[in-house]
Amino acid sequence: MKFFENVYTYDYSFPAVTLAYFLRYPNPYSRHVLTTDVIERHIDPKTHRLHTTRLHLKKSKVPSGILKLLPKGMGGSDSSGQSYILETTIVDAKEGWMETESRNMEWTGILSVVEKQVYQRQLLEGALDNLAGFALDDQTSEQTTVKTTVTFRSRLGQGKLLGWRKTDAIVDHNHDIDDEPAPKKGFFSSLSTAGIQRTIELIGVNRTRDAILKSKQGMNVVLERLRSGGIVGVLEGMRQDREAAFSPEGGPWKRVWLRGNALKDDDDN
């Protein structure tokens, strides 16, 4: 088990940061995110908190460093190059906090990565106590801190490989040369199991350091667009990102942009 922890402060108000969180894909740092869907959303009638569950499809590969540690055939068999991430968020607008959690849904036996974030409104001195006076682009009176904790857990070789369907493959005792599964569980029941788990967890930590930096850069791009152009500005930015990412014509996304533009009438900016 490995942990990664980080605290960061956005120079933007809490409402803006939460809006940016829901709006953060696509951005120039999220080319690996293919799709995002809301699979569940409701307001708790007692607490008035907004609960959201989203499903993200991301381009990803099992890192080559991890592949080298796996018995041959494992890790490469289901190489669609895509992975599903389940994200849950709870927003309490009144108390000024948001909690998020993201998990990988596949390969959890090899490496389960759970990212938790707590966003917290920070009122600066002299700021209005009254939330009714907030503005999405008001960055002088409020900051938002986010504490990120990522947990890495490899259960490789522990017999119970959750999320790993082809359990037969793990009895392979020599990962370098063997093509056929060996009858014994030598490789995984050996003393090196803990070492392999640690190595896999460490590779996960290193990749996450980079991913978290990118996600903050992405959030800041979205927040800056929000500040300078409101929601319309964000949607325009997304359109440009998409054109840059896919085709010079823009294709079906032009339609999206036109529809998004309808918000303009309601925007004060």
Partner 1 sequence: MAASIAPECNEVKEKYDTCFLKWYSEKYLRGNTSSNDCEELFSKYKTCLNKSLKDKGIDTMIEDARKGNKESDAEHNRRS
Dig out the tokens for 139 from the structure. Answer: 């960055």
Least CB distance to partner 1 at residue 42 (A): 9
Q: Which of 207, 13, 28 is nearest to 115 (CA)?
A: 207
User: Which residues within the stretch 160-179 sit at the binding site for partner 1 (CB under 8 A)?
Assistant: 162-163
Residue choice 83, 112, 143, 148 for contact with partner 1 (CB under 8 A) = 112
Angle between helices 193-245 and 253-260 (to 10 degrees): 80
User: Which residue lies nearer to partner 1 by CB, 1 or 213?
Assistant: 1
Contact, 1 vs 152, CB < 8 A? yes
Which one-letter DSSP state was computed for residue 167? G
Least CB distance to partner 1 at residue 39 (A): 7
Contact, 188 vs 156, CB < 8 A? yes
Which distant-in-sequence residues (6+ apart) come within 8 Å of 90 by Cβ? Answer: 49, 50, 51, 52, 98, 99, 100
Residue choice 10, 12, 18, 111 for contact with partner 1 (CB under 8 A) = 18
Which distant-in-sequence residues (6+ apart) come within 8 Å of 258 by Cβ? Answer: none
Least CB distance to partner 1 at residue 177 (A): 32
Least CB distance to partner 1 at residue 205 (A): 18
| 263 binds partner 1 per the rule CB under 8 A | yes
Residue choice 25, 29, 107, 188 for contact with partner 1 (CB under 8 A) = 25
How many CA atoms does the CB half-sphere of 17 hold within 13 Å? 30
| 252 binds partner 1 per the rule CB under 8 A | yes
Which one-letter DSSP state was computed for residue 174? -
| 233 binds partner 1 per the rule CB under 8 A | no
Footprint on this chain of partner 1 (rule: CB under 8 A): 1, 15, 18-19, 22-23, 25-26, 33-39, 41, 43, 48, 50, 55, 57, 84, 86, 91, 93-94, 103, 105-106, 108, 112, 114, 131-132, 134, 136, 153, 155, 162-163, 231, 235, 238, 252, 256, 259-260, 262-263, 266
